[in-house]
Structure 1
Amino acid sequence: MFMLGFPLLLVPFAIYNIVAFLLRGFVWTDPVFQVRMISQAEFALSWGDALVVVGLVFLFLEIAKATRMSRRSVVDHVLSLLLFIAMLIEFLVVPETATATFFLLLVIAFVDVIAGFTVSLRTAQRDVSLETVRSAD
């Protein structure tokens, strides 16, 4: 599968940057849609909220990818770490990224890095344990 070496969280990061730098004046808190709930409360989903939801979906896919052990998964983890570092630097330096939406995408990227390495280490531990049991027979 060719997507294994590609950090999927690059997609919401790229979407944010394209919108922030090409659509000057875009407001992430503007509602995408509003729905009146049964309780008569008004539920509004903003553009920023929608992008965070997209980021969470890609985070799920990234964690699912982390369960596969291969050389490509190591490359994937390194690329995810580089993406997180790039996002952190951009957050600290570029004024257009000083928003709650970008911060939440940054947190999602951080969770991706930590979860990816954790899942890989746990999977590798199980592989070593199985090898030890098999060689004892």
Structure 2
Amino acid sequence: MTLVRTIGCVARKPQIHPTNEHLWELCLTTARLCFILSGTQLTDSATVMLKILQLVPLFGVLFLVYWLAVKIGFFPEKLNNVLFHMRLPSGSIWKPTWGDFMILLGVATLYVELFKATRTSEVTIFDHLFSTFVLIAYLTAWLIYDWGGNSVFLILAAMSFLDVIAGFTITISAARRDLSLGGKG
């Protein structure tokens, strides 16, 4: 049998079934290559993971989660299914749905993305570029595909839009601040 060696994994032909470890190693190797090409020094896997989080737009991950839920037949049919019931101290019963959960994930993702926008480095430019591509994917899916034509998906697309606009605005403001601190004044 012929062995095929790829970056970080070995697979036998004709059946190539990489495991999660092999895919993770491939991701780490690809990230290392990207950061080496940009001139960034990487020391360990934790540093690589942090750099990956800086480079990957999290709204893209949220888009992939939604898309995978569509592919297994869960969304959009079950967006209004109740996750659990909880009695509040006021006596009313709170019944969050899967759609509510996705919107809450979007709010948390928007917070992390806005926090990521406060840094000024070479990686930030790529993050903003990828975030713009993710926004285009959201808008395309919302306009073209029936699984994207609902309010939950539109709200996630609007959050992605806010991520792109606020990301550029915050980065420019932070860069101005850095220039004024280092300059004459």
Q: Is TM more than 0.5 here?
A: yes
Q: Which of 88, 99, 113 matches 1:37?
A: 88
Structure number with larger C-alpha Rg:
2
Aligned counterpart, 1:8:
58
Aligned ranges 1:60-79 → 2 under 5 Å: 60-79=111-130
- Listed as ranges, the gaps of 5+ residues in structure 2 are 1-50
Secondary structure, counterpart of 1:10 in structure 2: helix
- Residue 3 (structure 1) shift: 1.8
Q: Deviations over 1:16-38 (max 9, x none)?
A: 11112321673101111111212
Q: How many pairs are equivalent? A: 134
Aligned counterpart, 2:144:
93
TM-score (norm. length: structure 2) = 0.68
Distance, in Å, in 2 between the alignment partners of 1:44 and 1:24 is 19
Q: Which has the higher helix share?
A: 1
2:128 pairs with 1:105: no
Aligned counterpart, 2:172:
121
Distance, in Å, in 1 between the alignment partners of 2:142 and 2:149 is 6
- Listed as ranges, the gaps of 5+ residues in structure 1 are none
TM-score (norm. length: structure 1) = 0.91
Q: Percent identity?
A: 31
> Residues 39 and 50 (structure 1 numbering): CA distance in 2 closer, same or farther, change over 3 Å?
same
CA RMSD of aligned residues (A): 1.4
Q: Match of 1:2, as an amino acid?
A: I
Distance, in Å, in 1 between the alignment partners of 2:159 and 2:85 is 25
Distance, in Å, in 2 between the alignment partners of 1:107 and 1:129 is 33
Aligned counterpart, 2:8:
none
* Structure showing greater relative contact order (alpha-carbon pairs closer than 8 Å, 6 or more residues apart): 1
